[in-house]
Amino acid sequence: MSRSIRPDALLEASRCAARLFVERGVSGTSGEDIAEAAGISKRTLWRYFRNKESCLAPLLALSWKRFSEELRAWPAQTSLEDHLADCFALENQTPDFVRDGLLIAQIVARISEEPDLKAVWLTSYFDGEADLAAIIGDRLGRSAQDFDVRLCAASVMAATRVVDEALCRAAIRHGRSYGSGEVAAQMARAIRAASVLPFCDPVKPGFRHEE
């Protein structure tokens, strides 16, 4: 019976794939290259990933998980702007978070040139919709399955994707420098503009949105 690979080994393989894609491009990177860089066999790599592009999925999933956890910790009495400013402050970030963020930014900045990566990138946002719907629902005292809650989650996820892509392209391709406060402010503006429910403002405990 074959052993299961450790989750941290899958994540390391994902990071290795991202670094190789940045250095060599997707076409210049093989599954064997990724497996060798990650210290695993090709057989193990293909047991867990359907193709080399999908190797990015664990890294992207971790990025969303971190952001989701920050949103779940959002105090009811705090506005979106204030909470994101606190979350994005550099002094509150771990070295791994910063390194992973730069690696993802380098990948995202190249998506227009690497269309095979676009499906993995878009899927990561689709997979996050249910989590975001639960967060919005909890904040407003509504079910995550309500149509308006799901619609709001889908709209907000699309808005965050557009901001992520714009910031990554500007920073990596054009050398634009962003402070953490500016990133938080741009993200907050996009989320607020896309929201069809009032979850961005402070809410009272036990708040219920009126239909």
Does 18 lie in the same domain as 122? no
pTM for the whole structure: 0.89
Write phi, then psi, for 121 (nearest 5 degrees).
-60, -50
Range of the domain at 31: 7-54
Tokens 């670094």 belong to residue: 19
Does 91 lie in the same domain as 21? no
CATH number for the domain harbouring residue 111: 1.10.357.10
**pLDDT higher than 90, residue 5:** no
Does 44 lie in the same domain as 147? no
For 95-149, write each residue's pLDDT tens digit. 999 999 999 999 999 998 888 899 999 999 999 999 999 999 999 999 999 999 9
